[in-house]
Structures are given as structure tokens and as C-alpha cells.
Amino acid sequence: MDRQTARDRARELVGKMTLEEKAEQLKYGAPAIERLGVPAYNWWNEGLHGVARAGVATMFPQAIGMAAAFDTELMGQVADVIATEGRAKYNAYSGEGDRDIYKGLTFWSPNVNIFRDPRWGRGHETYGEDPYLTGELGKAFVEGLQGDGEYMKAAACAKHFAVHSGPEALRHEFNATATKKDMWETYLPAFEKLVKEAGVEAVMGAYNRTNGEPCCGSTTLIQDILRGQWEFEGHFVSDCWAIRDFHTKHMVTDTAEESAAMALKAGCDVNCGNTYLHLMKACEQGLITEEDITQAAERLFTTRFLLGLFDENEYDKIGYEVIECKEHLRLADRVTAESVVLLKNTGILPLDKNAVKTLGVIGPNANSRASLIGNYHGTASRYITVLEGIQDAAGEDTRVFYSEGCHLFKEKVENLSAGPDRISEAVAVAKHSDVVILCVGLDEGLEGEEGDSGNSYASGDKADLLLPEPQRRLLDAVVKVGKPVILINMTGSAMDLKYAHEHCAAVIQAWYPGARGGRVIADILFGEISPSGKLPVTFYRDTEELPDFEDYSMKGRTYRYFTGTPLYPFGYGLTYGDVTLESVDCCGKGVENQGASVEIPSGTALTITARAVNKGARAVEEVVQVYVRAEDTAHATPAPRLCGFARVSLEPGEAKEVQVPIDRDAFTVVNDEGERLVDGTHFTVSAGFGQPDARTRELTGKAPVSFQVVLR
């Protein structure tokens, strides 16, 4: 159904409603209107990495892990599975008369905020620190979720608009101050792409203020930019109870009626919270008009018509049997395989099952289900932890010892013990093992959203990048045994892994790898799968190198503006193979020779063709990455920025040509007024398997192919 038809039908239906009925439809739990045949509908559903909070569903790795795959096609497939299982649940539940929260088809995902600071607890809900990567992955997610059928399969929601990335403890009262350049270069591009290119059906506002205006009542963000410049036609939803903050925290209004009016008149259509219960009083007080309420109701019913909720449609026959079906579980395994990032390997990996007779699996996350899933998750019918995956994969001839080693963050596991009560066991396990696999990290209880986390680190945020002290003590004790240690870090954010990098034989970033992620991690350890993930965030050495957490200036943040030397750079990740770029072609011209140059007309896109060859003995996947830097303008970012990427799978000895499209925005910059423009004619373009920086070359031993693009 096209939007105009849906809009016409919505206008006709809403026109039959009373003012009070229309106002009630703007609550996230919209009641039924029986006389008009309108069933109840709850707008609140979650689908960050699988259908959440509504029972059993396929659970993919957390969003930050999916981002590490650098794979738009895969992201689209994940979103399609979420929509399919969401439809199956909607069909089954509504058939039983259940239209409760988390049972609808409007999913409040994806989170395309920029992970600007590693201390932010919700960063693992995002696709990382880069606007281009975030926009491309977010676009693929939206297109996969909404589908291309006659009706919309499910409705996606880009959140949190805009300039939102902590601190969690202050979000209800915080004013994020951002320059025009930072707004249009960093904080807004992903939202713009999802609106203008992916046609995202909904946008959710943030809790905080941005440059003085509360985001869910901002005329600048909602009217001027979103609906004005970008011509957004979908509906806008508040974050939950954010409108209440207008008069209780931000103090920009005095009453609930004023807050409701401010949000509605700015263009917020549905209220997650209860402040819109005051709409009728606001109307009586002359703060809003019936036309304001009508307009919002028409937008919301337009979405419901687009979803086919009042018609028979092609998705009605999706049956419950698709939930956690074999095909969906295989896809989840593939996502996990592509998400795991190998950060260091002295040659110990992959492990030889025949050579390793005893394995020690140690750590608080080794046998933890919580460390598999991240936040905003559903329920899996089966979980496979790292320990369980290793036990199943190691074979009968390999003895696997296990010790929890320590509590995730407490000083002791047993409350009556005198002190660290699992260290001696961990040391004993290490001494009796040929190789130790040490699983450390966090879970959603230590890094997450304010209100959902129970940590001591300021409402879900981290005070620093260090592992909790009991884990640091454990790591030191195990390393001192002298056995080779493979460290697996299970977090949703960058950590200080300097000690591990210096003392461990291998370091793996596994994120929160999904409900059955332990099996895939075991396959990676034993060489059944080559790791191929790339970091979507910078791993700094510590927070001393970073600006204040509350400072929203991009100066000194993320790989584009950081001037120090990271521990592990954005875009970095090792494999078990030896892949090189044999040749690089741009616009029909070979450019692998040093100093090569290509001229293109200003305002055009181009495609880079890279011939990749696997000189190793194992089948691998790699990610070709292309970076660009403007050389003759004052408005360029300090470091080259990502402008294209593509995955390639290679058998031993195989060579393939990989095409990486580069859009015309790659050859633009954003000035201090927030204007994107062509300013300068000379650009350095680099193609490789990571950033064109010294640290990546040091860690990989490989340099990218760099050449000049000249605009004419």
C-alpha cells in the first residue's frame, strides 16, 4: 500500500473519532475503539538483536557485535528474521486476544547514536563510533525489517534523535551542546540516511536536551530538520517518560499540560509514558488545538494501515513454527562468526585438538548466560556458553578443567568466605592445563541503560576502562602460572586490555555473542572458522587520553579525531589467513603503484575494484576497507574517514575481485556552519584491511594501497 492511500484511509477513520478518542490513541498503549472496529494496539516493541521481551525468539549477538561484522547484507538478513518472527508472534498473540506491550509490529530499533565515548553504558546497543558505518548498517537494518512487500512487514524506528550518548546518570536533565560542524558531520548523518534513503517509519527522541531544547519537544530537531529539511513522513515517538522530564528535570515547562503541549506541537505523535494523559486538559487550556491532536492521530493510523493491520495481507500466514527455526539459528551462528574480533595471536590459534590434551577454561564469563545476550534481549530456548561450546568441541581425548576464578565484580563468590575464594582453584586449573582460556568482561548488569543496570559505575556507565578489580587480580594470577593464556573479553565496549596484550598469547573480543555464541567461539578457537570481525570502536589505552565524558565536542574522540596512539584501532581485526591486495583499480586505472592519481568530475561517485588473494592455508573472510582524507581544506577530519567497505570470502590460494562503491559525499567536508560542501580538490584514498594508520600497520604488518583522487 502506498503512503498516500494509507494516509487517506487514516484521515477517514480518524475523522469518525471524538476528540477524546483521538487523544487516547496517542498513548503508547492505545485502547480499542469498538464502535469503529479499531483493536487495541501497543506501540512499544523492541527488536535490537532479535525480538525482545515477548518470549522465545532467535537471539543474535548484541548490536555492537553485529556492527563488527562490517556486513550490510547480513544485517539486512538479521532484520528480516526479526520482522518474520515478530509477525509470527503478532499473528499468534493477537489471535489469542493478546495485544499487550512487546506484542506489536512497531520495533523501537535500530539505535544509531554515535558511540563517542567508551564509558557510555548503552554504547553496545549502537553500531559503533563511525557515522558512515552506522548509517550503512542502520539503513540495511531498516530495509530488512520493513521489507519490500505490498505492506510494511514491520516498522523500524531510528533512535535516539539526537546527540545522545551519555552520561546515563544525567540524561533526564542533561544538555548536550554540539557545534554545527559536529551535528552535521557526526551526530545527524546516520539519522538522515535512514530517513531519506531507507524510509524509516518512525523516529524516537532522546531524553536529553540538545543545544538547550528537550529533544522530544525540539522544533529545531523535529520540525526544522526532520520534517522540514529531510521531509520525514512517518511518526515520532518520545523516549519513555521523557516528556515528563520537561517539567520535572529540564525545567523548561511548569506543568504536565504544558509539557504535553510542547511535545505535541513540536511534532511528537506518540508518548511512551503518561504525560499525554493531560492532552485533554491542555486542549481545554488552549495550549493545543484539536487539529494538533488530529494530525498526530492521522500519522499513527497511517503507520497502522501501512502495516496492513486492518486488512488481510501477505504476512498473515506466517506461522509460529518460524520462531527459532533451524534457518534462523544458522544465521545467528553466522553473525557470531563474523562478529568475533581477533586482536592478538602469537601463533597459538587455532588450537590443535590433537596437540592440546588439557584445557583450562577459567573466568566469570566462561559459563555465564548473561554474558551471551547483552540488553534488550528476548529468551532463547537453549544457551551455549563458552565453556559448554569448548566442552562439546574439544573431543573425548582432551580434558577440560573449569574454574569460575572470581565473581564478575564482587570480592568473593561465597559470602562467608574470607576473601577471594576462587583464585586458588583457578591457579590449580592453570597449572594442570596445557593452555588456558580465560573469559573475562562485563554483562548488561554492569554496562547498560540507566534504570536497567545495577552496577556501581553511575547508572550503567563505566567509571574507567578497567576490568573489575577481582578480574584483574585473576588475570594476573593466571598469567603468573606461566602457561599460554588465550583471553576472551566479553563486553559491549572498549576496555583497557594493555596487560592482556602484553602477557597473553592471544586476545579475542567476543562482545555479547548471542544465545548460542559459545559454540561458534569454540569453532573459532579450534580453527573450524577463521575470525573476521573488525572493531567498530577504538580501543584506547586508558581514559586519561579522552576528554571529559560530558563534553560533546568530537575533538580528541573516535578514530577520526583522536591524535594519540590507540591500543587497537577502529577497523582492526586479524584472521587465520594471509590476505593481500594484489591490485587496486579506480575508474579503470590501476592505482596500486605509489603516487598514482585519478581525476574524476566533482560531485560524482566511483567504484574501487580490489583484487584480494589468500596466500594462507585456511579459508578466510576479510573486510576490504576504503578511507578518504581531504588534503587541501581546513575542514577535513584529522584522520582519514571510512567511506566504503565490502566482505570477501577466500579459499586457500584463491583470488577474487571485490567492488567497493564510494558515494560522492566521500569527497565533501562539513564546515563550521554545518554545511556539507566540496572544498578542495585533492584527496588521499586508501584501500586495505584496516585504517591507513601507523598502529594498524604495526599490528598487521601490512600497509594499505593509497592513491590520489583529484576533482576537476
Beta strand 589-590 with 682-688 is unpaired
Classify each residue of 634-644 as buried b or exposed e, where b means 16 or more C-beta atoms within 10 Å of its C-beta. ebbbebbbbbb
Which cell is 68 given?
A: 563488527
The tally of CA atoms less than 13 A away on the side-chain side of residue 45 is 27
Report whether 341 contacts 621 (CB < 8 A): no
- Listed in sequence order, the residues at least 6 apart from 57 whose beta carbon sits closer than 8 Å to its beta carbon are 50, 51, 85, 89, 323, 324, 378, 379, 380
d(CA 397, CA 78): 37
The catalytic position among 192, 239, 269, 388 is 239
* Residue 536, CA distances (Å) to 129, 202, 558 in order: 6, 25, 10
- Within 8 A by CB and 6+ apart from 28, the residues are 42, 43, 44, 101, 237, 270, 271, 272, 273
Contact in structure between 561 and 535 (CB atoms under 8 Å): no
Q: What is the phi/psi pair of residue 618, to 5°?
A: -125, 150
CA count, 13 A, side-chain hemisphere, 701:
7
> How far is it, in rounded angstroms, from Cα 684 to Cα 187?
24
Indicate if the alpha-carbon torsion angle 634, 635, 637, 641 is positive or negative.
negative
Sequence-ordered strand ranges (E) for 280-407: 341-345, 358-362, 399-403
In the numeric block, the cell 526479526 is attached to 82
Contact 188, 213 (CB under 8 A): no
What proportions of the chain, in percent to the nearest 5, are helix, strand and coil? 30, 20, 50
Residue 363's SS3 state is coil
Please give the Cα distance from 154 to 314 (Å, whole number): 12
- Alpha carbon distance 648, 575 (integer Å): 12
Spot the catalytic one: 447, 496, 585, 621: 447
Q: Does the active-site annotation cover 447?
A: yes
* Residues acting as catalytic residues: 239, 447
